Structure formats: structure tokens, C-alpha cells
Amino acid sequence: MKSRTGTKRVTMMDVAKAAGCSQATVSVVLNNVTDIKISPELRSRVLDAARSLGYGLASPIRRAGLEDLRGSCIGFVVDQLATTPEAVNAIEGARHASWENDVTILVAQTQGRAEHERKAVARLLQAGAQGIVYMSVFTRRVSLDPALQDLPVPLVLLNCYTGDDRFPSVVPDEVTGGCLATASLIKKGHRRIGTIVGESFMEAAQDRLAGYREALAQAGIPYDGRLVVEGNWTPTSGFEATRKLLALAEPPTAIFCQNDKMAMGCFNAIGEAGLSIPADLSVVGYDDDELARHLRPQLTTLELPHRPMGAWAIEQLAKKPRPGRHRVHKVGCTLIERASTTRRKPE
């Protein structure tokens, strides 16, 4: 979508920045979702920002092209539904983007098994699906089964991509997310910042660490490998990694945890050491898991953009894309500032 001047593609992130809120809030407002409470003042602010930027001209903002899918259904194929909230959030974003046009989302879970994928796609096509969204819970490059490569309907990849870029695909901008998390601590005066990374074979862990290093480099802070400790996304690994960081001769004054579950373990280790958050250490998480709002103090974290990613996938299907060269579309994460960070104490 272009602005009224026609010079710049206006995105949901642009609206979020202008309104001073998250992308998820913008999605809720612009899709006229009524079962999520948004204050009248914030709703008005989002709509004003959208109008001023040219992102739609009415409330709710209507998505051009979806009328072609009216009364049809779309297949949503995902490897896992129950293990994490990402798939549910993406499906919800897809629903928000399509419900006004009477588009039904049919969901199939395959557990990543090729035979299940083939059967799911065949049955979705039999049910009349006019497009397929293929999602991986973990961000990664995928090798698609031949049954998915030559479909009679458009295919869009969500949270994954192929090596040949044949299909439109969307993933979170994890490098920028890791950079944003780390930069938020640098802006508060922290220069010795530890990070607890996820399993190193995963792209999300690699990219978030790359963002951490990028933020340090931009601030002229030397990278110190002793401040990087590997976890495995669990609270226990966050607890153990934090103990290692606190045992250093020069412990960090802030810790960036690559997910909120490890941040929960980090909180416990800091408390066990007789220290407090954020007076003694600032902590930033990642994911904006529900637990982030239940920790005390509440956790500053990065919100993964799976809802807007789901909406983007539906918009792409409406365009009826053909196989060809498609650049991977990256959606930014939003920093959610809460009470677990503060300015560094002067020495």
C-alpha cells in the first residue's frame, strides 16, 4: 500500500510507530476486532495515524483484493499448534485479515511429516481451498514436498522460506529484534550486557545473537564472548546461564534473554543471589509470552509479529502470486517496555 503521495509503501509498523503502540494493537484496531479491549483514546490514535499515513481511508481499514476470495476458504498447514502460541497468533492474524470478506480458514496440523502434509493439502483442496498458507513454528529454510510445489492454487510460506525463493514468504526480522533489545539497554547506560542465547543450530538464535553483536558494534562496545551463554529456551537453562554470568569477575549490569521463558529463570537466579531487578540488573526478554506480564517486575520484551505475518500471508494469497523469484518479507518486532529495565547506576 502506498501513501497518498505515492512515494513510500506504508506498513503496519509505520502506523504503530506513529501511534506509539505495538503492531498487534494496530492489527486489532484496523481489523475492528471487538473481543479485545482497546481504550477509545488508543483506538482513535491508531485510526488517526493510519489515515494521516494513507494506510486506508475508513474505519475499519479495508484490505483491497480480498473481495476476490469472498465466500471461499483458505487452507492453513502448520507443523505444530499446541507447543507454542506462535501458530495460534498467526492464524488469528489471518482470521482478522479475512473475516469481513467471509473467508473461512481451515487448519491442519501435520507434525512436520511429509505424508501428513500431502494428505492435509489434498483434503484442503477437496474442501475448495483457494490458497494454502504453509507455516513452520520455528523460523527456518524448508524443503517442500513435491505435492506442495505444483499446487493448482497459490501457496504462501509463513515463518519459513525455500532456498530458491519460488513462493512469497514472511519471517520475523530477528536480527533487528536482537539489535533493538540490546540497544534499549545501551540507551539506558549499560555497557556490560550479557545475553542468554537459544540453541545455536536455530536461525532465531543465530539472528538474535547477530543483532546483539550489531547493537554493540554500533555503540562502540567491544564484543566479549564471556558474556554470551547458551541456553535451550527453558527456564532452567535461563537460571543456570544467569548463575554463570553472575559468577564472572566482572558480571553484567544487564542481561538480554533470547526468550521470555529463559528470562523467567534469569529472574529466579538473580533473586537467589540476593539481587533485585532492575535496581541491580536490568533484564530484557523476547517473544512477549503471557508470562512476561506475570513476572514481578513485569518483563520488558520484544513482541513477535505473528499476527501481522498471518494477515500478510492472506493479503498475498488475494494477489494470486505465481511461482517465481520472491524476496523474503521480514516483519519487525516491537519493543514492549515494562519495569524490568532501568538506567544504569553511576559508578
User: Residue 303 to residues 62, 192, 201, 220, 337: CA-CA distances in angstroms?
Assistant: 25, 24, 22, 27, 10
State how far the Cα of 6 lies from the Cα of 294, in Å rounded to an integer.
Answer: 44
Q: CA 295, 298, 304, 305 torsion: positive or negative? A: positive
Classified as helix, coil or strand, 278 is: coil
pLDDT at 10: 66
- Local confidence band at 32 (pLDDT 50, 70, 90 cut-offs): low
Q: Annotate 152-187 with b (16+ C-beta within 10 A) or e (fewer).
A: ebbbbbbbbbbeeebbbbbbbbbbbbbbbbbbbbbe
Is residue 163 a contact partner of residue 144, using CB atoms and an 8 Å limit? no
* Greater pLDDT, 100 or 302: 302
Percent of the chain surpassing pLDDT 90: 67
pLDDT at 55 over 80: no
Per domain, the residue ranges of the chain are 12-51, 72-168+313-324, 174-303
Model confidence pLDDT, tens digit, residues 142-174: 999 998 988 999 999 999 999 999 999 999 999
**Percent of the chain that is helix, strand, coil (3-state, to 5):** 40, 20, 40
pLDDT at 334 over 70: yes
State how far the Cα of 162 lies from the Cα of 144, in Å rounded to an integer.
Answer: 8
Residue labelled with grid coordinates 479491549: 37
**Pick from 316, 315, 335, 336: which is nearest to 324 by CA?**
316
Residue labelled with grid coordinates 536490568: 282
State how far the Cα of 315 lies from the Cα of 141, in Å rounded to an integer.
Answer: 22
Bridge partners, 52 (sequence order): none
* Greater pLDDT, 252 or 50: 252
Model confidence pLDDT, tens digit, residues 165-205: 999 999 999 999 999 999 999 999 999 999 999 999 999 99
Correct CATH for 174-303 of 3.40.50.2300, 3.40.50.620, 3.40.50.300, 2.40.37.10: 3.40.50.2300
Classified as helix, coil or strand, 102 is: coil
Burial (CB < 10 A; 0-12, 13-18, 19+), residue 40, is: exposed
Classified as helix, coil or strand, 235 is: helix
pLDDT at 66: 57
pLDDT at 199: 95
State how far the Cα of 288 lies from the Cα of 151, in Å rounded to an integer.
Answer: 35
pLDDT at 164: 93
Q: Do domains 72-168+313-324 and 174-303 have the same CATH topology?
A: yes
**Domain 72-168+313-324 part of CATH 3.40.50.620:** no
Q: Which of 156-160, 233-237, 243-247, 288-292 has the lowest mean pLDDT?
A: 288-292
Q: Which of 63-77, 94-108, 120-134 has the lowest mean pLDDT?
A: 63-77
The x, y and z cell numbers of residue 316, run together, are 498475498
Model confidence pLDDT, tens digit, residues 304-333: 999 999 999 999 998 888 878 999 999 999
pLDDT at 47 over 90: no
Contacts of 34 (CB under 8 A, 6+ apart): none
